[in-house]
Structure 1
Amino acid sequence: MWNKAKALAEQAPPERNRYVDFLRALSILAVVVGHWLVAAPYIGANGEVVGGHLLGILPWTQWLTWGFQVMPIFFLVGGYSNGVSWASSRAKNRHYSDWFASRIQRLINPVFPVLLAWAAFAFLATQAGMERATVRMAVELALVPVWFLAVYLVVTALAPLTWTLWERLGFGSIALLVVAAIVIDWLTLALDVPYVNFLNFLFVWVGIHQLGYAWQQGRLAQGRALALFVGGLAALIGLTVYGPYPIAMIGVPGAEITNSMPPTLALLALGVTQAGLVLALEPWGRKLLDNLTLWTATVLMNGMIMTVYLWHLTAYVLVMVAAWIAGGIGLHMAPGSTEWWWSRPVWFALYIAVLLPLIAVFARYERGMGAAKRDKPVPHLRLVLGMIAICIGLAMTAAISIASPAGVTGVRLWVVALPFVGAALVGFGPVYRWVRG
């Protein structure tokens, strides 16, 4: 894999912005490390497994989320990449449906095996008599990452519209989205209007995505990026330390407000802060990436980035199950204790050891295995219906789980089926090949 990545790294055109690929890889690695760190199960006094959460056990660790909650960086990079891709597509007179269908396919193709694997686990574990609550806990934890894909798909679908908005209003388009996020939070926190806060999935993430357009257009030079960082950090401190928002940028058990589900103005401020920081460091980072070894590592990581993201919690669950079967080895330490911290490198090594064979088996799906060859553009109605089906399926997977608390199978088959049916409507995936075959 390294040799293949090195060959690709050597072929990269000189005009390619390697820093974009580096930030994409760095953001996913930070998410992986963050997930492996905050999940802190342990065996309680009565011998039961307690699903501890480090942010709730040690409140000071909530500050660490300002560094580990880096999904804003992924959306920043997404804005840059979608801006380049959409501009290229327009220059070649490509149809929108071709452009978006290819984006869906690249993003969703690696999801199929992880969904099927955990659906099979839920079915077999239920038939074997395992407690449904235990099955659900394992499935939920392993499949939590898929929520992000549903949101990112919607943001990508809107790229032609948001790109036009950027061309007409520039930074004004970002200001409009900031104002919208403020209004939504005011309605939520001050007036207690239900459900309206879900609109911030759109306003917050599209706002950060717009910053990616600004970056791609050369509108965020080092000086302006530093100003963005300082302004964003000041707003972030004001909103959290002195304002109503929690310090943690991810959900904490028992907290009344979460900054991520749905996102809040505080998370938008974090995204602006992070964008300003990484873009201020861009000249140094691009120079560093002239090193072939570092650039090859970046290419290698980008070649399996979705596989790492989708399977890293599966590796975590497998290690935890093995530890529990082995008599709870390593699970009797109190999370946050000195010995618990010292044991982290050992646990991380185990997670990596289990993740590597999963990458070896499933990374091929990321490289376009089973890619559809379309002779004509996908009809708009099918494209929209397919995207909606995929997004609902992924959102429900994260929100209510594919493990069912009732029924013979122990699986919410409709939740599992939706992404497959949606992909077939778009023109790819196993259901599409089966129908065509």
Structure 2
Amino acid sequence: MSLLTHARELARTPAERNRYADLLRAAAILVVVFGHWLSAAPYVVGGRLEIASMLGIASWSHLLTWALQVMPVFFIVGGFSNGVSWESARRRGETYADWLHGRLRRLVSPLVPLVALWAALVLVARYLGVDPALVSNASRLALIPTWFLAVYICVILLVPVAAAAWQRFGLASFWLPVSAAVMVDALAFGHGLTALRWANYVFVWLAVHQLGWLWRSGRASAGTVALAWLMGGLACLVFLVELSGYPVAMLTVPGADFSNTRPPTVALVALAAMQFGALMLLERPLRRWLDAEGPWTATVLVNGMIMTVFLWHSTVQTLVIGTAAWLGGIGLALQPGSAVWWLWRPAWLFVMLLALLPVVLVMMRFERGGRRGSRAAWPAGVLVAGSLLLCLGIGLLAGRGMGVPDFPWLRLVPLLLVVAGAVTVLRSRPERGVRPGA
């Protein structure tokens, strides 16, 4: 069966399904992928490969990140879809462990071959005597996208809490983590307690996730309410940037004093509010557009491989750059940011897309994850603990890469954490009445 035929079959969804959420999920990830490819500025100078970023080269690009930083969109959609999934599980009498196992399986399954590949590459490079620092930097660049997975898994673990908070407190369940994020920023920047900033990985992304529950409630669907969110978020963002000293860029700028994303600041919440308002204003016309077979089938097709595309796009880029440098710097001689460099950007994107396509076709099978009718093999406490180990391992890999040269005996720790966490999350047992392999 061809991918298109399979997508057409899956596109026969119930009329009540919110197709707009699926479109936003696919669009957000594709913006991230093409944004990473476009902003990367590798070049060879004096026989040495340098990896620059357009955010560090062209300050005019910082304002563009107000539209191109779309991780808030993914978390808003995540809040919406997690709410639908959790309430459906509750109606079926499904346990938290079984729900969590099913929810995480599609996220974690495509991660396993990616980590395995880089572990193998590190071993081969070590055997060939490649500089450990080079290997570490290459793996770090390739695995940077996985930080999002670690944060999102932590948010999924808290979905029952988010659901209970929404049911009891409504919109206050959004403002409470926002207030905590404001306090963290105030203490970090006003009193030098910068270590507290890491707490905003929880507060900021939980707040953004709660906007998905607001979306589901229908309370933001009116045009005036949506416009208020858009304009209010924009006003807060301008205030934070112009009067409070927050960076203009909503992505990390190489060499900058601090970033709005690592760790996140309250400026990302303002951006999320602005984007949320824009999404609500666009919902009705785009849902009508998705009623047509073509746009909806394309959306289903992309969503069927979206995590594979996201997780592998940086690895493909890293390997393409490494191959080009090994071949004498082919395609890497142009000065980043020059007019000629920009003229060649479409060709650069085409090469990346061409290299990614076969990888996705091979690896997307892992995204479909596990057999049908499977349940969690562990009780909820063990599953949560395994998920946290997995997140810690992912975070270390995304931050430092593999084969860190200055800690030779500790280089295996992140990998072991990922393996232990993945085994815990992915291990399943058959549903009652369902035979294995049926």
- Give the TM-score category using the shorter length: over 0.9
Deviation at 1:425, TM superposition (A): 2.5
Matched, 1:129 2:111: no
Report Cα offsets for 1:373-395 as digits up to 9, x if no partner. Answer: 33x76313311221111111111
Matched, 1:262 2:263: yes
In the other structure, the counterpart of 2:38 is 37
Aligned pairs for 1:268-279 within 5 A: 268-279=269-280
Mapped to 2, the partners of 1:373 and 1:91 lie a distance apart of: 18
Report Cα offsets for 1:294-315 as digits up to 9, x if no partner. Answer: 1111001110010000000111
Mapped to 1, the partners of 2:254 and 2:172 lie a distance apart of: 37
Mapped to 1, the partners of 2:396 and 2:373 lie a distance apart of: 26
Mapped to 2, the partners of 1:372 and 1:387 lie a distance apart of: 21
Secondary structure of 1:41 counterpart: strand
Which 10-residue stretch deviates more, 24-33 or 194-203? Answer: 194-203
Quick check: 2:135–2:402 contact (8 Å CA) kept in 1?
Answer: no
Quick check: 1:95–1:377 contact (8 Å CA) kept in 2?
Answer: no
Quick check: 2:377–2:427 contact (8 Å CA) kept in 1?
Answer: no
In the other structure, the counterpart of 1:433 is none
In the other structure, the counterpart of 1:8 is 10
Which 10-residue stretch deviates more, 349-358 or 90-99? Answer: 90-99
Report Cα offsets for 1:77-132 as digits up to 9, x if no partner. Answer: 00000111111111111111111121121210110000000111111012111111
In the other structure, the counterpart of 1:176 is 176
- Equivalent AA in structure 2 for residue 171 of structure 1: L
Quick check: 1:107–1:149 contact (8 Å CA) kept in 2?
Answer: yes
Aligned pairs for 1:220-239 within 5 A: 220-221=220-221, 222-239=223-240
Report Cα offsets for 1:166-198 as digits up to 9, x if no partner. Answer: 111111111112111110000000001131111
Give the TM-score, by structure 1 length.
Answer: 0.94
Deviation at 1:406, TM superposition (A): 5.4
Secondary structure of 1:40 counterpart: strand
- Equivalent AA in structure 2 for residue 381 of structure 1: G
Mapped to 2, the partners of 1:273 and 1:296 lie a distance apart of: 29
In the other structure, the counterpart of 1:312 is 313
In the other structure, the counterpart of 1:61 is 61
Report Cα offsets for 1:4-52 as digits up to 9, x if no partner. Answer: 112211x1111111000000000000100111112111112x2211111
Return 5+ residue gaps in structure 2 as ranges: 429-438
Report Cα offsets for 1:203-249 as digits up to 9, x if no partner. Answer: 11111110100101111113211110010011111111332100111
In the other structure, the counterpart of 1:398 is 398
Deviation at 1:370, TM superposition (A): 6.1
Return 5+ residue gaps in structure 1 as ranges: 430-437
Describe the shift of the 1:370–1:415 C-alpha distance in structure 2 as closer, same or farther (beyond 3 A). farther
Describe the shift of the 1:411–1:177 C-alpha distance in structure 2 as closer, same or farther (beyond 3 A). closer
Quick check: 1:110–1:306 contact (8 Å CA) kept in 2?
Answer: yes
Mapped to 1, the partners of 2:204 and 2:372 lie a distance apart of: 32
Matched, 1:101 2:65: no
Give the TM-score, by structure 2 length.
Answer: 0.94
Mapped to 1, the partners of 2:423 and 2:229 lie a distance apart of: 42
Matched, 1:281 2:282: yes
Which 10-residue stretch deviates more, 22-31 or 131-140? Answer: 131-140
Aligned pairs for 1:196-215 within 5 A: 196-215=196-215
Quick check: 2:108–2:426 contact (8 Å CA) kept in 1?
Answer: no
Aligned pairs for 1:246-395 within 5 A: 246-369=247-370, 373-374=374-375, 378-395=378-395
Mapped to 1, the partners of 2:117 and 2:164 lie a distance apart of: 41
Describe the shift of the 1:355–1:371 C-alpha distance in structure 2 as closer, same or farther (beyond 3 A). farther
Quick check: 1:119–1:411 contact (8 Å CA) kept in 2?
Answer: no
Which 10-residue stretch deviates more, 330-339 or 215-224? Answer: 215-224
Quick check: 1:19–1:289 contact (8 Å CA) kept in 2?
Answer: yes
In the other structure, the counterpart of 1:435 is none
Matched, 1:187 2:187: yes
Secondary structure of 1:164 counterpart: helix
Quick check: 1:123–1:411 contact (8 Å CA) kept in 2?
Answer: no
Matched, 1:166 2:186: no
Secondary structure of 2:368 counterpart: coil
In the other structure, the counterpart of 1:434 is none
Mapped to 2, the partners of 1:424 and 1:389 lie a distance apart of: 11
Mapped to 1, the partners of 2:410 and 2:79 lie a distance apart of: 36
Deviation at 1:372, TM superposition (A): 8.4
Mapped to 1, the partners of 2:197 and 2:355 lie a distance apart of: 38
In the other structure, the counterpart of 1:421 is 420
Describe the shift of the 1:113–1:234 C-alpha distance in structure 2 as closer, same or farther (beyond 3 A). same
- Equivalent AA in structure 1 for residue 31 of structure 2: A
Secondary structure of 1:246 counterpart: coil
Quick check: 1:66–1:249 contact (8 Å CA) kept in 2?
Answer: yes
In the other structure, the counterpart of 1:76 is 76
In the other structure, the counterpart of 2:432 is none
In the other structure, the counterpart of 2:48 is 48
Deviation at 1:426, TM superposition (A): 3.4
Mapped to 1, the partners of 2:320 and 2:372 lie a distance apart of: 33
Report Cα offsets for 1:54-80 as digits up to 9, x if no partner. Answer: 111111111121111100000000000
- Equivalent AA in structure 2 for residue 423 of structure 1: A
Report Cα offsets for 1:238-266 as digits up to 9, x if no partner. Answer: 11133210011111111111000111011
Describe the shift of the 1:411–1:198 C-alpha distance in structure 2 as closer, same or farther (beyond 3 A). closer
- Equivalent AA in structure 2 for residue 81 of structure 1: S
Mapped to 1, the partners of 2:371 and 2:356 lie a distance apart of: 23
Mapped to 2, the partners of 1:373 and 1:214 lie a distance apart of: 31
Quick check: 1:223–1:280 contact (8 Å CA) kept in 2?
Answer: no
Quick check: 1:6–1:296 contact (8 Å CA) kept in 2?
Answer: yes
Quick check: 1:382–1:426 contact (8 Å CA) kept in 2?
Answer: no
Mapped to 2, the partners of 1:420 and 1:103 lie a distance apart of: 18
Aligned pairs for 1:104-115 within 5 A: 104-115=104-115
Aligned pair count? Answer: 426
Mapped to 2, the partners of 1:31 and 1:427 lie a distance apart of: 27
